[in-house]
Structure 1
Amino acid sequence: MGFRYFRRILVAAFVAVTFVQATPFWAMDDLHLGLGRRDMVVPGPCPQLVLGATRTPIGTVCVSSSGGSITITYTIDSANTYTLFHVHAWIGIGVPTITQPGQMPYTDENHVCTIASGGKSAVCTIPTTGPNAFPPRCSGAFNVVAHAELGASAGTAWGNGTCYDDKGNCAKYFPVNPQCQCPVVTTYDPVIHENIYSTVKTITTTESTTVHCTSTPDAVTSSTSCDNPNAAPTVTISSSKSLDFTCGNPYTTPPP
């Protein structure tokens, strides 16, 4: 008596594509997939951190986001001996009018910015609420002023850009053109499989036994561009898609 084993997928999986809304910065809280709530991508390299009016580069100033807030990160190149003593920053629309760094709203002195031990880097986390908050945005340029005191003997540095005050060490600002990337998670319903065991009793008679099992494909993460920071929390689109997934054999031999 011989046995023939056949397997086929009985039901195709259904695909659920979920777009998750969140803050528009770098960088699916409910799904616990380790994604940022929304990424703000700043195309191109980070501006250089340059010395005063000479514009001698000593590091970089990068704008990104973390936990839904814009961050400004100062980094001194390892080849330079300079260290950060104080940092001051401003973000806004249009040309800045504050030329005195100590009057800028985001500083280490008011605890919006933090200078790392050793003074080789600093991070300013811009508040999302309050009088100095900068509202979320997925498009439309804004400007950044990033200033650093390097100590009395070393002078000052700025994020390289357009000089808006030609006095002294030439206060500078640079533009940021944000693009938002929203996380997308594709989840799959269980795929139902059908295992058919056929028993050939004679040349003309065959008996079959059918056993079902299921498997669930892993979720797939990706991202897509988005423009509305105030979109509805979720938009779910369901569609049918045939998937080439297999299910483990529930029996090593046909059932009795």
Structure 2
Amino acid sequence: MLSPTAQAVFRQHLAECGVEVMEGLPESGVYLLADEQGLALAKAGEKGVVRVDFVHGSAQHRRLYGGGELLGKAVNHRSQPRVWDGTGGLGRDAFVLASLGLTVTVSERHPVVAALLADGLRRAREDAAVAAIAERIAFFPGEMQALLPAHTAPEVVYLDPMYPQRQKSAAVKKEMAYFHELVGAATAADEALLLQTARRHATKRVVVKRPQGGAVLAGAAPAFQYQGKSTRFDVYLPLAAPVNGLK
């Protein structure tokens, strides 16, 4: 049973992300579940949940044993750029960038995913092992296209549009299945607008994460690429000066 304080915290996060609160469990579909561990994405009739966790699991392993070097190179992290992650998702790549010492702003358009991410960041800021990393991440629920013009233009905009996951683990399959059912696939027009907005606001570069062998985003050829075993990062240069005129 959640304490009144915990319920108030969850309701605040959900309200900020535009998620309606209901009592009881739905009979079908995916839904947000609030329990003692935080918010989680669940599906009616199925076991297991998807939760944002920056303290344990893969995030802990990467923090202790390294990782994310290719992503760091793609954003040119040694120059200490300000990065805007326009497709926040579960925040994994944003957390990697913050672990490299970068200041990261994250936006996530889907209200349920935004609520998951906000809750994960809240818990991370309360944990001594990762609080300093989490404090380098600023989060805004909503569309990147609407949020970017109101902020100082970042040097780098990072995008990780959802694509079919090739890994075979049961956990990954469940996570991607839930997300595809919840969010749905982006249209070609959505992807074109996403990339165009990013290129008009980034002052240095736009980095797009893609699977090896996957098509480039919106059919646009990148200026150059960083190649990994299963993933690559396509790098695009700005289209013009930032439309908000801020540096």
Both proteins in one fold, TM over 0.5: no
Q: With the length of structure 1 as denominator, give the TM-score of the two structures.
A: 0.23
Q: With the length of structure 2 as denominator, give the TM-score of the two structures.
A: 0.24
- Report the structure, 1 or 2, having the larger helix content: 2
